[in-house]
Structure 1
């Protein structure tokens, strides 16, 4: 029994040390953990999980939850409160240790902005410029796809197609972006068993750090699915930051030769830009929104109505919990880390002229 306690105490100390020390060595994490240890581990897990059409990770999570609940219930029934507490603490130490080693240390690697030597921050003028560019591009692409300003763009929910296009587009990325990612085979994104629950907690998909599988919430509006698929793949390729995964989701999808996918990507980027205005000034947001074709507005409205229909207390609870989790793992803006995508997009566009 004492050996078990010594093991967990040692593991806890190593876990705390990893959180304290890792931020001080981003170059080491990038070169040695991300490109060697993590990459090698991902190659092994790819062989174990990619052969299955369903999510092994979803099953693993279910088994873990069932075991923890059952074990806690048995101990509580025996009124062994101390043992329950130690069991839960031990479980959390073990889980976070696996998380850190299997994937979490990627949170401390050199940022995309640093590796591409991009600037940080942006002015109101720069936000205005890229937003207006995106409005023009989205309106033009919308008309190319529909030939009707009033008609929204419809996507068939074809996850196999979304996977194939995303995997192809990752192969076709320019070298300066490929160099940031691990050179690993990409797991196809699988439909999550927990899609219904994810809709009510506000998540479009997730990457399983234990099995390195990519899952998508199959219930979300299809217009957002191609970028979400590419976003989750970015996590598997060693991108931990949500903003950076958003960036790769966008930049990968917009590389497509299919005008529909380009439209979906640029609409995704535009929505994030418009969100910046909406947070500051509803009137300015409305003026920009009114410049969009009616069909584009309908695509945006469909997505907003979907998430509004699912919003409840658990949405706020899980968003706040996940925001806290991101902060612990070096994403200091918490849930707002997703919105840092706009910063990255503007500064990337200034250097590489993507839009």
Structure 2
């Protein structure tokens, strides 16, 4: 049998292991894959990708997409449909096989809730308590920064500062959170070449699982950028779940000595709480929204208006597509996993009230 067939079979076996067997072995993927193989691979990639100020992964994606399209067109022109089928099988199996080996197996680790022995559920009283607490904190921090209730908080777009702040504050996390992460050097988050595309498809940033680079959509309102930077770094440190990456993004910014970054973190969490209310009752949401300082409201509306101005049919298509991708990679809530952040935060605060 030709070598290429062995290669294809090997890739298919890896993919099958990932999607059929991996969910049954969280201990293995937590202890051996995440803390050993993945850690070693990430250190290796860190050495290479940090030689470049731009996103090597963005270039890699462009080259691969152009090559695949070119190959498909040429094979169709020549009528080589059998070769085309084999090429597509190799391409798909390679994508999923390499994805799993390089990062995807992190999806099968024990969750934060399991490792910290947190409850999973919460009720409306819990949500009310957290929302009230965050409302008071956000209003207070807003007044400290602006000196008045009417002016929105402005954070200058300084990716170098956001990177420095996030890396510094990952080191300040409490030990029970640090032990969940890998101990690797953190890659700087780079501006994505595809920021405009990400804006129209509804994404603030992304982690490249093949090069382990972190990218941010440089077009998003700056108030959300520090949290996004910390969120993407969490993915590099072995956090696959969007819920947990949101959680780490929030916790990291809370460690900051810069009150603007603390404000950005608490505003981020508050917006998720308000979204839960909005999903239930628009009138209740509006009452809660009206309790915020006018400047805080402006910060929230600034983000909402930005995403509304970019929303189109591709936003829904790519969100749905990404949601399906998350589900087949052991994130059962799909795109809704972003919203589980509130439950994780509530139950974490119950167990660790002083962190």
Q: Work out whether the TM-score is over 0.5.
A: yes
In 1, distance between residues paired with 2:285 and 2:272?
A: 12
The residue number in structure 2 matching 1:325 is 325
In 2, distance between residues paired with 1:354 and 1:63?
A: 49
The residue number in structure 2 matching 1:62 is 62
String of CA shifts for 1:135-194, please: whole Å, max 9, x gaps.
010000000000110000001000000000000000111101100000000000000000
The residue number in structure 2 matching 1:138 is 138
In 2, distance between residues paired with 1:347 and 1:192?
A: 34
Tell me the matched-pair count. 355
In 1, distance between residues paired with 2:217 and 2:269?
A: 20
Which runs of structure 1 show a deviation greater than 4 angstroms over 4 or more consecutive aligned residues? none
In 2, distance between residues paired with 1:276 and 1:354?
A: 24
String of CA shifts for 1:197-238, please: whole Å, max 9, x gaps.
000000000000000000000000000000000000000000
Quote the offset at 1:13 in angstroms. Answer: 2.4
The residue number in structure 2 matching 1:295 is 295
The residue number in structure 2 matching 1:185 is 185
The residue number in structure 2 matching 1:167 is 167
The residue number in structure 2 matching 1:313 is 313
Quote the offset at 1:333 in angstroms. Answer: 0.5
SS in 1 for 2:203: coil
Any residues of structure 2 matched to 1:121-270 within 5 Å, and which? 121-270=121-270
String of CA shifts for 1:110-146, please: whole Å, max 9, x gaps.
1011111111110110001000100010000000000
In 2, distance between residues paired with 1:130 and 1:231?
A: 21
Q: Is there any run of 5+ residues in structure 2 with no aligned partner, and where?
A: none
In 1, distance between residues paired with 2:276 and 2:79?
A: 52
In 1, distance between residues paired with 2:267 and 2:254?
A: 10
SS in 1 for 2:139: helix
In 2, distance between residues paired with 1:267 and 1:238?
A: 25
In 2, distance between residues paired with 1:173 and 1:110?
A: 20
SS in 1 for 2:214: strand
In 2, distance between residues paired with 1:6 and 1:252?
A: 45
Quote the offset at 1:50 in angstroms. Answer: 1.1
Quote the offset at 1:4 in angstroms. Answer: 1.1
The residue number in structure 1 matching 2:23 is 23
Q: Is there any run of 5+ residues in structure 1 with no aligned partner, and where?
A: none
Q: CA RMSD in A?
A: 1.0
SS in 2 for 1:253: helix
In 2, distance between residues paired with 1:170 and 1:195?
A: 25
Quote the offset at 1:81 in angstroms. Answer: 2.4
Question: Could you state the TM-score of these two structures normalised by the residue count of structure 2?
Answer: 0.98
SS in 2 for 1:256: coil
In 1, distance between residues paired with 2:270 and 2:50?
A: 33
The residue number in structure 1 matching 2:272 is 272
